Amino acid sequence: MADREALVRLRNIHKSFGHVEVLSGIDLDVAAGEVVCLIGASGSGKSTLLRCVNHLERPDRGRVYVGDHLIGYEERADGRLHELSPRRINAQRTDIGMVFQHFNLFPHLTVLENVIEAPMRVRRLDRATATATARDLLDRVGMAHKEDAYPRTLSGGQQQRVAIARGLAMRPKLMLFDEPTSALDPELVGEVLDVMRDLARSGMTMIVVTHEMAFAREVAGRIAFMSGGEIVEIGTPAEVLGNPQHERTRAFLSKVL
C-alpha cells in the first residue's frame, strides 16, 4: 500500500442515527488496485461506512475523497463544505460501482437491458456501443448466454453476477460490495466469489464487506475489523486473522473462523 497512491481517502468520518453514534471517526486509505475487506459483527457500522463512500449516507463530519473528488460536497472559498446537487452527486457516483446483498436488478428488464440501462441513460451511449460493452462484461461474469433472460428466471448467484456486470458497465474506478453473497444459497456463493476474485486480479480497487473469511484471507490486501463504529484493527490477512492484536478482534474471529 505504502508506495501506491490512495484512490480512496476517508478522513474522520462520523455518523449518528438519532443519539446513536454508528461511525466514530473512521480513517481509511485504499490504494488504487487494492482490495480491502471490512469484517465485523452485525451492527458494527460496515454498511453505513460503505454507504458514506458514495454518499448514500451523508456523514455528519469528515470527508470522503475518491480520486480528485470530494464526495457529496464542494469546498467554497470560505472553507465551508456545501452539499452538491443530486445531479452532481450522481455524476460523482459514476466512478463508484456498488453491489448489494440483494441484487436489486430491474425486474422488468432483461439481463442485457439491466446492464446497458445506466450507460445509455447517464453516459448517453448509443445502444450499439452500450450493448457491445455489456456483452463483454456479461461474458466476463459467465452470463453472456442469458442476456435475454429476465432476473426472476435466474438463480441468486446468476443475478448477483449480472449485478456485478451492471456495476462495471459504468467503468467505475472503485467497486463497493456489501455482503454480496450473504443472501445466496451456499452452493451459489462460490461462483460469485470467483467473479470477484477475477475482478480483484484485474486490478480493480474494491472495498468488500464480507463474512467469507477464506475469500478475505486470499483476496484482500488488507482486512479491517470494525467494532463499535471504529476500525479497531487493520492489516494484512496474516496480521489480522493470524495474529490479531486486540481482544475484540480475537473474540470476533473465534466465532467466525
In the chain, where does DSSP find H-type helix? 46-53, 86-93, 111-121, 127-140, 156-168, 186-201, 213-219, 237, 247-256
Asked whether position 181 contacts ligand ADP by CB under 6 A, the answer is no
Q: Which stretch binds Mg ion (CB under 5 A): 7-15, 40-48, 87-95, 162-170?
A: 40-48
Q: Could you give the string, one character per residue 20-39, with x where binding to ligand ADP holds by CB under 6 A and - elsewhere?
A: --x-----------------
Alpha-carbon distance values, 154 to 134, 135, 147, 169 (Å): 18, 17, 11, 20
**Residue 108 burial (CB < 10 Å; 0-12/13-18/19+)?**
exposed
Q: Which is nearer to ligand ADP, 131 or 181 (CB)?
A: 181
Distance, in Å, from the CA atom of 136 to the CA atom of 116, rounded to the nearest integer, reads: 12
Of the candidates 213, 220, 214, 224, the residue with the CA atom closest to the CA atom of residue 248? 224
Give min distance, CB of 207 to Mg ion, in A: 13
Give min distance, CB of 175 to Mg ion, in A: 17
| All cell numbers assigned to 61 | 463530519
Give min distance, CB of 87 to Mg ion, in A: 28
Q: Which is nearer to ligand ADP, 165 or 220 (CB)?
A: 220
CB atoms within 10 A of CB 135: 17
Give min distance, CB of 192 to Mg ion, in A: 17
Q: How many residues bind Mg ion (CB under 5 A)?
A: 1
CB atoms within 10 A of CB 96: 24
Residue pair 147/112 in contact by the 8 Å Cβ criterion: yes
Q: Could you give the string, one character per residue 38-77, with x where binding to ligand ADP holds by CB under 6 A and - elsewhere?
A: --x-xxxxxxx-----------------------------
Residue of 7, 23, 31, 47 that binds Mg ion (CB under 5 A): 47
| All cell numbers assigned to 204 | 480493480
Q: How many residues bind ligand ADP (CB under 6 A)?
A: 10
Residue of 1, 12, 17, 155 that binds ligand ADP (CB under 6 A): 17
Q: Find the farthest-apart pair of alpha carbons in the chain and give their distance in angstroms, rounded.
A: 55
Q: Which is nearer to ligand ADP, 39 or 165 (CB)?
A: 39
Q: Which is nearer to Mg ion, 47 or 114 (CB)?
A: 47
Q: What does 25 interact with, of ligand ADP, Mg ion, none (CB < 5 to 8 A by kind)?
A: none
* Footprint on this chain of ligand ADP (rule: CB under 6 A): 17, 22, 40, 42-48
* Footprint on this chain of Mg ion (rule: CB under 5 A): 47
